[in-house]
Amino acid sequence: MKPLWFGPVSRPLFGWLHIPEGDRAKGCVLLSPTLGIEAVGARYAYRMLGDRLAGAGLLTLRFDYDGTGDSAGMPDDPDRVRAWVESTRVGLDLLRSFKLGRTGAVGMRVGAPLLVEALGSSPPEIDDLVLWDPCPSGRAFLREQSALWAFTLGATRADDGSVETPGLIFDPETVAQLSELTLASGDGQLADRVLLLMRAGRKGDRRLNERLTMPNVERRQIAGQEDLIDVEPGYAVVPVDTIDMIVDWLGERAASGPAKLIDAGVVGRNRVIIGSTAEGGTIEEEALSLGPLGLFGIMTRCRGAGEEVTVSGAGPVQGNDRHLGTEAPTILFLNAGVLDHVGPARLWVHLARTWAELGFRVVRLDLNGMGDSPVRPGPAVDYIYAPDALDDVHAALRDVLPDDPSNAILVGLCSGAYHAIEGAIAHRVRGVCAVNPALTFSPPEVRVNAPLDLQVGKLDTRRQATGAKRNWTRLLPGRSVLGPMVERMPDPAWWLLNRVVVESPPVRTLTKATEAGAKVLVIAGTDEARELSRGEGRSMNRLERAGRFHMEVIAGLEHTLLEQRGRAQVVGLLTDFLRGEFVAPIAQAQSAP
């Protein structure tokens, strides 16, 4: 895979090229994604599909629409639907520039009507089109997503006509534009061949069925789509049979064609200007390969007005960064569960570009097996809390900060917050921002169903921020057995339990991080805060009074930050922490005689 930005220099799109072996391709395929939480769950399925298509000799591009993922822009920019359609056209143009044989495209869910809109009317612009569990219209997509959000949080439609879905808010203009988007619009053939993949038992939209009643349209039923799309991303199961079906169908016509040598090295850019500042400076981003495994990351930094910037090529960035000074720490974002380097609801991207304007250098990282990083031999993909993740943090700090790996601030949500605290203890970093940190989980290597490559029953020696370090305590009935009764225990009982039975309390872990030199901010919802401080209220107060730790509790904070209200509060608290603890002291030191 090759990461690249492509399209307009003033507003670049991000994508991945999956390149056939030997750089010889018989055709090309564009993968048009769905949106929101569906795109998160389907991300690895698209990565696997891209790899398999490249294995079949087809150069494949998966990409982020304008204002999504790592592409330029914001989700609340105007004219979103037009921008998403234009992003699809730009992706097709990039593939056509290779001048290969057959051109194909795959559109999943709402990506299908966006793709069809980009193709335009007859004559067909592509040879092969796959509509994978397509939404018949943008209206249907919004209806399903808003219903899901209402069922999850009890959310209601806003008075201004906007629609909030998991991780996205569609403003009234976008709602109106999406409502007009439909697969049934237009006439004539969409492509020389069309493969329509529908879930078993679904007849499809009447207008869509009429639109696709053509000899060149093949209909097939697929299984497993519910386990990919209709579940939380952490539980998504890749429908391998469906991927095999798509690869075989797209590859059968290209198989007999000649393979053409391609030069993917001259296409796209690995470093771009992603935006500008109010003072006339530029926000620049660069794709990184970190550590011996080649972990994927993106670095964001700011340059002052008038500085020369190179937006293509490889190698380290040259020139003067607009930093706070030589003492300014680098910020490292970590995965939140199975969420990739983009973060929950694209939060890491927004914060990276905002904090770069404050003068920080920011890196958002994919741990091994997560997002777009390679998979280390052993555990499966999306293996959360893997002990090897601690090595990944070390490798990233060493490569990004070779002179002083401790000059960093680690940021994470849930499991990413846990890894941030582990990194703070191991590498004595300057700061930690932990949102809803998971500090009371059972490490996978000590579980009964631990992966085969782990030594069951023995806590990995690299861990310093987990409880239950006494082997004999694991034989006693814990909260997983006693369930609700344990949850209702009073604080004094938890105080005793923390010391003699089940686990080391989170306050000890947080104390370790501060003793290692880190300034620690914890942001937690009401339930998460109770879990962190249960039985240890006095200890938490003493830790706070010591001056290197602070916990902010947000009532009703949705754990994964997919709700906009809580996410906005978190953004404000994190930014205030950085300004107060790092920007202000360095600015004062620089202005001193």
Q: What is the mean pLDDT of residues 256-278?
A: 86
Among 296, 297, 302, 298, residue whose Cα is nearest residue 273: 302
Give how far Cα 524 sits from Cα of 311, 433, 557, Å: 39, 11, 7
Q: Which residue has the higher pLDDT, 451 or 359?
A: 359
Q: Is pLDDT of 555 > 60?
A: yes
* Predicted pLDDT at 475: 47
- What pLDDT, on the 0 to 100 scale, is given for residue 474? 45
- Three-state SS at 419: helix
Q: Between residues 209 and 285, which one has the greater pLDDT?
A: 285
Q: How does 531-560 read in b/e, with b if 16+ C-beta sit within 10 Å?
A: bbbbbbeebbeebeeeebbebbebeebbbb
Residue 189 pLDDT level (bands cut at 50, 70, 90): confident
Question: Model confidence at 316, in pLDDT bands (50, 70, 90)?
Answer: very low
Q: Which residues pair with 412 in a beta bridge?
A: 434
Q: How confident is the model at residue 298 (pLDDT cuts 50, 70, 90)?
A: very high
Q: pLDDT value at position 495?
A: 54
Give me the sheet containing 13-18, strands edge to edge: 2-6, 13-18, 58-63, 27-32, 102-108, 128-132, 193-199, 217-222
Residue entry with tokens 């983009």: 342
Over the stretch 328-370, which tens digit does the pLDDT of each residue have? 899 999 998 889 999 999 999 999 999 999 999 999 999 998 9
The larger pLDDT score, comparing residue 148 to residue 110, is at 110
Q: What is the pLDDT of residue 293?
A: 92
Model confidence, pTM: 0.89
Structure tokens at 168: 């996205």
Residues 433-453 have a mean pLDDT of 76
Query: For 91-123, how does the pLDDT look when each residue is reduced to its tens digit (9 = 90+)?
Result: 999 999 999 889 999 999 999 999 999 987 655
pLDDT above 70 covers what percent of the chain? 83
Whether residue 461 contacts residue 455, with contact meaning beta carbons closer than 8 Å, is answered with no
- Does the domain formed by 2-137+182-265 have CATH 3.90.75.20? no
Q: Which of 146-160, 352-366, 379-393, 482-496 has the highest mean pLDDT?
A: 352-366
Same fold, 2-137+182-265 and 321-445+507-588: yes
Mean pLDDT of the chain: 85
Query: Which CATH number is associated with domain 321-445+507-588?
Result: 3.40.50.1820
pLDDT value of position 318: 34
Tell me the torsion sign for CA atoms 440, 446, 451, 455.
Answer: positive
d(CA 330, CA 362): 6
**Which residues make Cβ contacts (< 8 Å) with residue 563, sequence separation at least 6?**
153, 155, 164
Residue predicted with more confidence, 573 or 159: 573
Tell me, letter by letter, the H, E, C secondary structure of 508-521: HHHHHHHHCCCEEE
Over residues 557-569, the pLDDT tens digits come to 999 999 999 999 9
Q: Tokens for 567, please give them.
A: 């996410």
Going from N- to C-terminal start, the domains of the chain cover 2-137+182-265, 321-445+507-588
Determine the average pLDDT of the residues in 58-83. 95
Q: Quick one: tokens of 384?
A: 């959360």
Q: Alpha-carbon dihedral of residues 520, 526, 531, 535, nearest 10 degrees?
A: 90
Distance CA 346, CA 153 (A): 20
pLDDT of residue 459: 79
Strands 27-32 and 24-25: what pairing?
Answer: unpaired
Give, rounded to a whole angstrom, the gap between the first and last alpha carbons of the chain.
Answer: 51
Percent of the chain with pLDDT over 90: 60
Q: Note the pLDDT of residue 476.
A: 46
**C-beta separation of 486 from 399 below 8 A:** no
pLDDT given for residue 320 in this prediction = 36
- Count the residues in the chain: 593
For residue 303, pLDDT over 70 is answered with yes
- State pLDDT tens for residues 202-241: 777 777 777 777 778 899 999 999 999 998 888 899 999 9
Residue 430 in 3-state DSSP? coil
> Given this model, what pLDDT does residue 311 score?
44
Higher pLDDT, 371 or 278: 371
Take residue 287 and report the two structure tokens written for it.
């794709």
